Amino acid sequence: MDRFDKLFSSFRALREKLFARLYFAQAVSLLGDAVTWLGIALLAFEFGGDHSARVLSVA
């Protein structure tokens, strides 16, 4: 039980409602940023084909 307490002790701050909302909003924002970069890469591949690396270097 002691290892379990040590493992989850860093998540005690998530018991505060305001901080938990901020934390999860930041996580969603980071996920959205990742999806944006994925979309840019797919769009570059769609337009550039074999030259997509060159298109991405300009973007």
Q: CB of 18 within 8 A of CB of 30?
A: no
Give dist(CA 19, CA 50) in Å, integer.
46
Q: How many residues does the chain have?
A: 59
The per-residue pLDDT for 31 is: 97
Cα gap 31→38, rounded to integer Å: 11
pLDDT at 1 (0 to 100): 58
The predicted-structure confidence for 1-59, as pLDDT tens digits, reads as follows 577 777 778 788 888 899 999 999 999 999 999 999 999 888 888 888 888 888 778 76
- State residue 48's pLDDT score: 86
Q: For residue 56, how many other CB atoms are within 10 A of its CB?
A: 15
Spatial contact of 29 and 21, defined as CB atoms under 8 Å apart: no
